[in-house]
Amino acid sequence: MLIRLGYDIQFEIPAPVAMVAVLHVHPSRIKDLREPDQLWIEPAARTDSYIDSYGNRCTRFQAQAGVLRLSSTTLIEDSGAPDPINYGAREHPVNDLPHEALRYLLNSRYCEVDRLSNIAAELFGGISPGWNRVQAVCNWVHSKVVFGYHLARPSKTALDVFTERGGVCRDFQHLAITFCRALNIPARYATGYLGDIGVPVSPAPMDFSAWFEAYLENRWWTFDARHNVPRIGRVLMAVGRDASDVAMTTSFGTAELKYFTVTTQEEFPAHLARTGT
């Protein structure tokens, strides 16, 4: 399966400002790219790329005053298989976890593990450890939290989501991540492309999506408390402790978002498109 990916993001910049963008396909998917994954900046700016402490590809640059446009289009090959499932995946005792997984057990900006630990134990402590417990967390969040763009706000934390029972995709994931960490299951926030492939087309404009990964059976597994079903065509861009680590852009000064579109759709080879097969 081939998937066309892209975005067009525009800002109004009142004065020159330093920026960092996390808009590339994750390094783990580079081998699947069939076209260059190039960030186009208008007006042109000198860029420096680096890999951050979470393994994400980042680009830093100086934006000039005026209208700033960030855009890209690329093509990626995907297996077309849904998110993998392993019902027998085991939890690891904390002492057996790799060092790099330990930070995904701790509090972070949007995930107040200490404030939700008792609630997590009450809700999920009696469920068998491993995959079933993480899935129970997803089931609970999916059934108890209402999705709505009008319910979003930048400051909303996992505790806020638990109390208010509403939010957008990142809020679903923050609450699920916090519950998992409170149960000593490493969990990290993930963001990327997730198109309407294999599911009814959503009437809402396309956006970047959020999900989370839990560490079980010696690897990271994809979970999604918002959709709560395995999906096709998920393309990872970045991972971190929570949304604060994977913001699509960070400006060290004022940058007002004026325009935003995302493209994620299956693309058929030309000979198939002509024949309709």
Ordered DSSP codes for 193-236: EE--SSSPPPSSPP--EEEEEEEETTEEEEE-TTT-S--B-EEE
d(C-alpha 65, C-alpha 55), whole Å = 31
Interacting residues of 147 by C-beta distance below 8 A, sequence separation 6+: 166, 167, 168, 169, 172, 226
Q: Which domains does the chain have, with CATH numbers?
A: 2-78+248-268 (2.60.40.2250), 94-244 (3.10.620.30)
Query: 257 pLDDT band (50/70/90 cuts)?
Result: very high
Over residues 255-274, the mean pLDDT reads 84
65-76 b/e (C-beta count within 10 Å ≥ 16 → b): eeebebbbebbb
Q: Which pLDDT does position 230 carry in this prediction?
A: 97
**Tens digit of each residue's pLDDT (9 = 90 or more) over 105-153:** 999 999 999 999 999 999 999 999 999 999 999 999 999 999 999 999 9
pLDDT at 273 over 60: no
Q: Would you state the pLDDT for residue 272?
A: 54
* Amino acid, res. 206: M
Whether residue 274 has pLDDT greater than 70: no
For residue 269, give both structure tokens: 């080879």
Q: What is the pLDDT of residue 275?
A: 45
pLDDT digits (tens, 9 = 90+) for 179-208: 999 999 999 999 999 999 999 998 888 999
Quick: pLDDT tens for 17-31: 999 999 999 999 999
Angstrom CA distances, 107 to 112, 163, 178, 192, 246, stand at 5, 18, 8, 23, 16
The pLDDT value recorded for residue 70 is 98
pLDDT at 87: 97
Question: Is residue 214 pLDDT above 80, yes or no?
Answer: yes
Residue 4 has pLDDT above 80, yes or no: yes
What does R_g of the chain's alpha carbons equal in angstroms? 19
Share of the chain above pLDDT 70, in %: 97
